[in-house]
Structure 1
């Protein structure tokens, strides 16, 4: 797992919401083992640098797990590397997962058939982001892939 960071390594005191800035970017091969490794790495970054309550941080990590799992499962065959980014600005956290697959998914209907047990991950991402006052979306990349992202506003832990 490669990591690149523009955030300070350890602040002396917890950061104030208006002063938090930085990006942590990871690139990994699309393997199932990448999901827990990146969830742990991003969780450490958020605990150290983001003014998030434990509940908001858990929601962010669930969102990350859903987006990364989708990229590994669905884009893996067409993507030699998947990029994950956790960005902090003055007011919010932005999580994104970039892959090389051209398909742009949409969240499913909120009332899928009862026998369907999968396919609700993006709907969960939408709900978690909206409940926190954030947003989510999909953007194309110049190379024909996509970036699926979610934002969550800060709260005070």
Structure 2
């Protein structure tokens, strides 16, 4: 099961993408706790992209970012990959060390604690931040296959 969604470079895209992700993962049979973890990871990655990065460059539609997720198995282990692609920023995403009273700066630390691994890839003017969560093998093999990218406009 996989999906890629183009979203407006706007705060409302976080809830739009989160709803689609949760629906897909529930349809694929993932447990509620893992669906909630995935929704949190996607929310953090999208929020960071919207706050710190530019929209995707040409040839993508104007003022868009992309969220993608896929569920599968590899050598008997189940996984869920979540990725957000944007037009990049002046610096690469990194885990911050905010003060105890800071109102933000904890998103990637949360992602790092939930995900088995996470990282950043840069290809020209496009940056992708991804995270991989472990899921039960039976979760990763059930459910519909969705392989056509969709465009969501809020």
Q: TM-score, with normalisation over the residues of structure 2? A: 0.76
Q: Give the counterpart of 1:84 among 36, 55, 67.
A: 67
Within 2, Cα distance between the matches of 1:89 and 1:104?
A: 28
Instruction: Return the offset for 1:127.
Output: 0.8
Query: Which stretches in structure 1 are left out of the alignment for 5+ residues?
Result: 1-21
Q: What is the correspondence of 1:2-41 to structure 2 with a 5 Å cutoff? A: 22-41=1-20
Aligned to 1:105: 93
Per-residue CA deviation, residues 71-109 of structure 1 (Å, 9 max, x unaligned), is 112114676210110111222110000001143111123
Rounded Cα–Cα distance in structure 1 between residues aligned with 2:47 and 2:99:
22
Summarize the alignment of residues 33-72 of structure 1 with structure 2, pairs less than 5 Å apart. Answer: 33-49=12-28, 51-72=29-50
* Cα displacement (A) at 1:52: 2.5
Structure with greater contact order relative to length (CA < 8 Å, sep ≥ 6):
2
Tell me the equivalent position of 2:143. Answer: none
Question: Given the alignment of the two structures, is residue 154 of structure 1 paired with residue 135 of structure 2, yes or no?
Answer: yes
CA RMSD, aligned part only? 1.8
Equivalent-residue separation in structure 1 for 2:6 and 2:110 (angstroms): 24
Number of aligned residue pairs: 128
Offset of 1:24 from its aligned partner? 0.4
CA change 1:77–1:147 in 2 (3 A) is closer
1:29/1:59 Cα in 2 relative to 1: closer, same or farther (>3 Å)?
same
TM-score (norm 1): 0.74
